[in-house]
């Protein structure tokens, strides 16, 4: 029987969550299924990278940004770097695409949405004033270190003794990709799906913990100890592009435009590259 391990795997590590709109916070129940809001602080000793030249003084400004949970590490560093360079407060809510889409349409507030793929902008396209491509989002086939089941391709996931963990196929870009890839390979109804998760990083944690044998996951989420990537898995045709979408309900045009310009800087591109992304052409 399929079971959702959201909350089982990382509830203790994530702790209480705040459910926030793009621009207004409200109290939420604890649990890892809720969007995670991080109040960023300036990095110490320039650890978040050097700031780009000619950044404006945005002291007193605040940006409210939604970002896919799978991009938490690089985007946190980018947000911290921008705050250090400009003084702008960066309130970022990390969640899966379904949660973000719901909050945008419900609150009708916020400045930007950093989505896992361009397709995730479609349900909120009436709220998007402009969008620019940032980096490539690369799906890979991940297995436990040492690959004990000797999985060498997607076809190997259909073996009787192989268990798979998958992102939620309705609310996460990586879950939708996994379903399409497995369906295109003719094995979706043959694989043993052990569990589903609401965010991509949880799959790496599950693989490392031995909860399943394999997962289709974003490349950047495979840096956890106990996880390795299967080369030539057949997922090359499913690479997506991460967009930065400006929301029409943005309350701070100047700060938003400055951040969009900052996203083009070499400093930001270096951060993306450090975490295994490829810059979109």
Average confidence score pLDDT of the chain: 83
Tally of domains in the chain: 2
Residue 121 pLDDT: 97
pLDDT of residue 6: 37
Give 50's pLDDT tier (boundaries 50, 70, 90): very low
Tell me: the pLDDT tens digits for 197-228? 988 888 999 999 999 999 999 988 887 789 99
pLDDT at 101: 96
Q: Are residues 207 and 248 in the same domain?
A: no
Residues 262 and 230 in one domain: no
Residue 203 shares a structural domain with residue 119: no
- pLDDT of amino acid 38: 44
pLDDT band at 9 (very low <50, low <70, confident <90, very high): very low
What are the start-end ranges of the E strands in the chain? 3-4, 19-20, 25-26, 36-39, 62-68, 89-95, 112-114, 128-137, 139-144, 163-167, 192-197, 214-218, 227-230, 240-247, 278-279
Residue 44 lies in a domain: no
- Nearest alpha carbon to residue 75 among 56, 93, 53, 102: 93
CATH at residue 118: 3.40.190.10
- Please report the pLDDT score of residue 35 as a whole number: 52
Query: Hey, how many other C-beta atoms are within 10 angstroms of the C-beta on 145?
Result: 12
Residue 3 has pLDDT above 60, yes or no: no
Kindly report, residue by residue over 105-125, the tens digit of the pLDDT.
999 999 999 999 999 999 999
| β-sheet bridge partners, residue 143 | 214, 228
pLDDT (0 to 100) of residue 14: 33
Give the residue-averaged pLDDT of 38-48: 39
Both 218 and 98 in one domain: the answer is no
Mean pLDDT, residues 20-35: 36
Judge whether residue 10 has pLDDT over 90: no
Rounded-to-10 torsion of CA 200, 206, 209, 214: -100
CA distance 248 to 109: 9
Going from the C-alpha of 236 to that of each of 73, 105, 183, 216, 218, the distances in angstroms are: 24, 33, 15, 12, 12
Q: How sure is the predictor about 4, in pLDDT bands with cuts at 50, 70 and 90?
A: very low
225 assigned to some structural domain: yes
Does 119 share its domain with 98?
Answer: yes
Q: Quick one: 113 and 250 in the same domain? A: yes
**Left if phi > 0, otherwise alpha if psi is -120 to 50, otherwise beta: which for 87?**
left
> Which pLDDT value is given to residue 221?
85
Task: Categorize the per-residue pLDDT at 52 as very low, low, confident or very high, splitting at 50, 70 and 90.
Answer: low
**In this structure, is residue 263 part of a structural domain?**
yes
The reply to whether 146 and 227 lie within a common domain is: yes
How much is the pLDDT for 83? Answer: 97
Q: Give the Cα separation of 111 and 88 in Å (integer).
A: 13
Domain identity same for 70 and 99: yes
Residue 277 main-chain phi, psi, to 5 deg: -85, 165
Residue-wise pLDDT for 82-109, tens only, equals 999 999 999 999 999 999 999 999 999 9
Residue 115 lies inside a defined structural domain of this protein:
yes
CA distance 204 to 196: 12
Same domain, 186 and 259: no
Model confidence over 142-174: pLDDT tens digits? 999 999 999 999 999 999 999 999 999 988 889
76 and 197 both lie in a single domain: no
Residues 166 and 201 in one domain: yes
Range of the domain at 103: 60-135+239-277
What are the tokens at 112? 């930007």
For residue 255, pLDDT beyond 50: yes
Whether 54 is covered by a domain: the verdict is no
What pTM was estimated for this model as a whole?
Answer: 0.72
1 inside domain: no
Please report whether residue 35 resides in a domain: no
Residue 69, in any domain of the structure: yes
Q: What is the CA radius of gyration of the chain?
A: 19
Do 244 and 232 share a structural domain?
no
């Amino acid at each position: 029987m399929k079971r959702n391990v959201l909350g089982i795997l990382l509830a203790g590590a994530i702790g209480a969550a705040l459910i926030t709109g793009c621009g207004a916070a409200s109290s939420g129940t604890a649990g890892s299924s809720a969007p995670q809001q991080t109040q960023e602080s300036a990095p110490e000793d320039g650890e978040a990278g050097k700031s780009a030249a000619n950044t404006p003084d945005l002291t007193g400004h605040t940006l409210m940004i939604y970002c896919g949970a799978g991009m938490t590490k690089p985007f946190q560093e980018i947000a911290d770097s921008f705050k250090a360079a400009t003084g702008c407060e960066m309130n970022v809510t990390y969640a899966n695409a379904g949660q973000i889409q719901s909050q945008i349409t419900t609150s009708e507030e916020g400045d930007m949405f950093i989505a896992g793929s361009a397709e995730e902008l479609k349900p909120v396209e009436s709220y998007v004033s402009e969008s620019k491509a940032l980096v490539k989002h690369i799906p890979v086939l991940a297995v436990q270190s040492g690959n004990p089941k000797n999985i060498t391709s997607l076809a190997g996931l259909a073996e009787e003794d192989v268990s798979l963990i998958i992102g939620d196929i309705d609310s996460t870009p990586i879950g939708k990709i996994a379903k399409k890839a497995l369906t295109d390979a003719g094995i979706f109804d043959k694989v043993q799906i052990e569990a589903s998760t609401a965010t991509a990083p949880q799959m790496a944690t599950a693989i490392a913990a031995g909860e399943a044998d394999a997962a289709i996951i974003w490349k950047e989420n495979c840096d956890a100890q106990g996880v390795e990537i299967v080369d030539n898995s057949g997922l090359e045709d499913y690479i997506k592009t991460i967009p930065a979408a400006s929301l029409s309900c943005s309350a701070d045009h100047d700060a938003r435009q400055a951040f969009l310009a900052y996203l083009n800087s070499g400093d930001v591109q270096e951060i993306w590259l450090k975490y295994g992304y490829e810059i979109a052409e």
